[in-house]
Amino acid sequence: MDTSGEAKPKPKGSIMSLSRRQFIATSSAAIVAAGTLGRSSVFGANDRVRVCVVGVNGRGGSHIEGFNDYEGSEVVALCDPDQRVLERRAGWTKKKYGKEPKLYRDIRDVLADDTIDAISIATPNHWHSLATIWACQAGKDVYVEKPLSHGIWEGRQLVHAAKQAGRIVQHGTQSRSDPTWMRDIRLMHEGLIGPIHVAKGFTYKTGNRHSIGHKPLEAAPKHLDWTLWQGPATEEEFCKNYVHYNWHWFWNYGNGETGNQGVHQMDLGVWGLNKGLPTKIYSAGGRYAWDDQGETPNTQLTTFTYEDGTMFEFEIRNVGSYQEAGKTTGNHFLGAKGYYVEGKGFFDYDHERITVDEPKPISNGPWGNFIEAVKSRNQDDIRGTALDGHLASAHCHLGNIAYQMGRSLEFDPHAERFSSDQQANGLLKREYRKDFEVPDLSATA
């Protein structure tokens, strides 16, 4: 099997035959035809969806296992700008599954390979939206890790791209494939505890969250393509504190703990409330106890208020104890007739348990669900659509913007802009590096 990563020549006139520069500049009008590019969208019962995992150092390993272990799919290619990571993960994959995947360093070469049906994105956050949009334009379906976006504006462009191209895009918050959560959210929406007035989500993770110290700026190692790793982010000199995990704690690449583990609990809260985006946001906190280069808070409390007055309180903490909560993550909902505590169930206000039926078993988890949606081409089969991911991720971004502004903000949930606050609006969209611009697709939405 060819592992050189070199794309084979494609017929002229298709997106697949364009140069990298031409591919990036493809107009949004071409998206309309994207679903006809590459392999046919019709799969037989025994056909396997061929997946390339993009970003394979950490979470990418779970993607490789998830799609290789599901009978309806196989991982045929890996992509990562770090040659050492790529080769190490390729060896691990071959040893575990007896398969030798194609290897790519540049995602644009992956998208030019018409033997690949779908990509699974486990890159740092700043690549999520652009990689997904490019894939939709190239006729690929996408499983994209949380958060869906690095910022609110680009998340909305991703939603446009998925819709315009008719692609299957699933957001990687796996709780939407959990039978208990599927049952409990349905019961809340059906009014079991009455209208929800207040929701709470929390993330008290301490493992792998510690002071990262101070490391100098220096030349990037030869095995890492630093230009590709940065992609759409603002150009920076290389620092070992960026690669490969601690990028989470720098605004240029990550979204702090709120957009890391927190987006899982954020998504559950947003799903349960079913209110869309908020109208008011306040957030406070800090990076306490640690003297290091990290920029994002390790302690943060955010409140969201919606048009009808409903509130959502969200908290993250990476220092201290989580024992008072009994667990590291969780979600609670308070309704007019009762309340819900994750892991314990529904209660009335006399604290008597409300009995509910056992959750209905499901035939597949998030990996299998994505693959079956790819085969059916039915958007209703997706558990965690592009829009679902956008709304959950946008909450993370709103909380972080309010934290950075240090004041309460008013937001128009329909226009997705802050009301009369140009400074805050300046954080809705970043300046993209040349050749890695997220396209504005709103005109064709």
Query: Which tens digits make up the pLDDT trace of 373-418?
Result: 999 999 999 999 999 999 999 999 999 999 999 999 999 999 999 9
Residue 41: pLDDT band (50, 70, 90) is: low
- pLDDT exceeds cutoff 70 at 357: yes
- pLDDT exceeds cutoff 60 at 26: no
Mean of all residue pLDDT scores within the chain: 91
User: What's the confidence (pLDDT) of residue 9?
Assistant: 33
Query: How confident is the model over 224-241, as a mean pLDDT?
Result: 98
pLDDT tens, residue by residue, 64-96: 999 999 999 999 999 999 999 999 999 999 999
Strand order across the 118-121 sheet = 102-104, 73-79, 49-54, 118-121, 141-145, 169-172
User: What's the confidence (pLDDT) of residue 10?
Assistant: 32
CA distance 149 to 432: 14
User: What are the domain boundaries of the chain?
Assistant: 15-176
15-176 maps to CATH 3.40.50.720 = yes
37-51, 256-270, 344-358, 392-406: the lowest-pLDDT one: 37-51
Residues 293-327, buried b or exposed e (16+ Cβ, 10 A)? bbebbbbbbbbbbbeeebbbebbbbbeeebeeeee
pLDDT tens, residue by residue, 151-183: 999 999 999 999 999 999 999 999 999 999 999
pLDDT tens, residue by residue, 118-141: 999 999 999 999 999 999 999 999
